[in-house]
Structure 1
């Protein structure tokens, strides 16, 4: 896996001085193990899919990926808690891994290649590292607190990324996953009015729209209904790339059950438009 259209290089020397470097390397190793499982099962004729109580799908690949990551955590980081979508949501013990084994399961089971494994590390009340690995897109994004955000296979083959510098809403590009949920929040009309005033609206969806914000290709992305495992890995990547990530009330981080990521310059104006 590599960001082949970019000139990648090694950032090991810079990142190795970061106190969280070992955790980042562990997260990247978890992603390697996850990719081997998810990529092998993508498009498999015998993929088993069932509906969870919330009517969302889960496949045997989702559970196998999360199980493998949990095994790696137990081997490398014994004592760390795990909050995962499929196999249990533990309370934090001071250090907690936030896992979405396959973000975009609906895409995964339909053969759409936009899906990824999300791995975040929470220390105290902060998410300090994140890895988003999308093998079907042949790409990966990662970040560590104080160390910047990157796109590429790993610390030895990456390019540093940064959000855009677009400062006007009328010049901005925004991505949404869908319109579902905005009506229940009571702000769908505000959302439509906002997007009507923008340069461009697209629906890249799920993790990908937030990574596009982080790499400067999209200026804003939002979703009205999210869990911690949907956002944990995304937050450090967006913020280390120079962006802003809050809930729709403006509270920073992945704790509010919804998310808005922007390049920072547009954040307050978009929040105000949605209120």
Structure 2
């Protein structure tokens, strides 16, 4: 259907699908249509009958109770009058697409299970300890690629703060704030974030304040120190991220002490 130019639901009705990307038909979309009998014209009405029973047969004012019971076989049932799609044409198209273009597409559930994702990388370099921005950016981006590419990830965007202290909240960092603003953009082109180094990106309890924002927009977070995606349901991941925040705070204190000597 993508090759034939058939518009997907988000392209056909963008006013009702503002939260979705207009990126063509996905396997989950076609599957939902095929599993919905109302779309294919096989939805029946009248399977259940409504029965109202008086609470008191002698006193109508006492009210009644409503119960639904399965209709008897001889009860008339009506089939949905309008058939939106034809299974004769959609099923073969879905079978073909499922083995090619719809396999592990960018935002499909299958892609998330397999680990395939388009990622935006975030890094940070501080100049207070005489770091070279280009060198720091080079090794952080290089480490990110070595980390995500074997897992099936692809870096498609970069956000790199220079001269911003790790103690500064993300909302006040130039690139950090730009990344947070992009979360609201459904056409951002990436669905996960990977950081160059955990201790460089978060300070103290910053992670606990930022992670819910990523989760609210369905954006996965990949952390090298975790060896993969951050799982908020994993107690070990939560503990390690707290440790990284403490290590970052301690490391900054050591840098300040060295500069003060």
Q: Which has the higher contact order (CA 8 A, sep 6+)?
A: 1
Query: Which has more strand, going by share of residues?
Result: 1
Quick check: TM above 0.5? no
TM-score (norm 1): 0.28
Bigger Rg over Cα: 2
TM-score for the superposition, normalised by structure 2: 0.29
Whichever structure has more helix as a proportion of its residues is: 2
